[in-house]
A and B are shown apart, each in its own frame.
Chain A
Amino acid sequence: AQSVTQLDSHVSVSEGTPVLLRCNYSSSYSPSLFWYVQHPNKGLQLLLKYTSAATLVKGINGFEAEFKKSETSFHLTKPSAHMSDAAEYFCVVSDRNSNYQLIWGAGTKLIIKP
């Protein structure tokens, strides 16, 4: 069965330092992978998605993620954190095995220290 594991429930970084949010997935077929962001008391917004094109995907607000099939990973990165990045981030996978339904990770809360 498909699954998504976000390896950290909380990540804390200082403003201006790099961000790394880790995501591993299991999928038998070529997956589609997404990162969504949820700001406090707000809905969810797509950050970026991988759908079998370039393995390095650029998203909004300076975020990017790299699809690594050999490592079954899709980690989210940003070179320099900003206070406005404080939010919860969800890694999501979809493939034929899940009948193309979205399988959500448990989320990683990103905390930005001034």
Chain B
Amino acid sequence: EAQVTQNPRYLITVTGKKLTVTCSQNMNHEYMSWYRQDPGLGLRQIYYSMNVEVTDKGDVPEGYKVSRKEKRNFPLILESPSPNQTSLYFCASSRGGSWSTDTQYFGPGTRLTVL
């Protein structure tokens, strides 16, 4: 089954404790992206990647890191989480090429709480 998976689905942590949220897709998609969703703000893009070893900042990259060492995986790293990073996070992938018009496929989301 074609899908985007994220782990963990739920995470409660404390300020400053490094964490990684994994994202994996099995559709051989070139383009992957991370978003955060906050009430009343829609989705805001954190980072995106157009292919292996190619990443770029989205609208709200501060406090986050990503890497794209393999095509299928795109982990999101919070080196020193803070309470303002409490949010719902989504990973997405799309085929690439004409990625402005491609359909994005989303993971189920990771709800992160930073105390």
Query: Taking beta carbons and an 8 Å cutoff, which residues of A are in contact with B?
Result: 4, 9, 32, 42-46, 49, 51, 90, 94-95, 100-102, 104-107
Contact = CB atoms under 8 A, between A and B. Distances in A.
Which range contains the number of B residues in contact with the other chain? 20 to 34
7 contacts: A4-B42, A9-B40, A32-B100, A49-B101, A51-B101, A100-B100, A107-B42
B45 A102 contact: yes
Contact of B106 (A44, A49, A101): A44
B113 to A, nearest CB: 16
A42 B104 CA distance: 15
Interface of B: 4, 40-45, 48, 58-59, 90, 92, 99-101, 103-104, 106-109
B107 A32 contact: no
A9 B42 CA distance: 11
A101 B31 CA distance: 12
B109 A101 contact: no
A43 B90 contact: yes
B4 to A, nearest CB: 8
Nearest to B107: A43
A49 B103 contact: yes
Contacts of B48: 101
A44 B88 CA distance: 12
A94 B42 contact: no
Contacts of A107: 40, 42
Contacts of B106: 43-45
B109 A43 contact: yes
A9 to B, nearest CB: 7
A49 B104 CA distance: 11
B104 to A, nearest CB: 7
A104 B90 contact: no
A32 B94 CA distance: 15
Contacts of B109: 43
B100 A104 contact: no
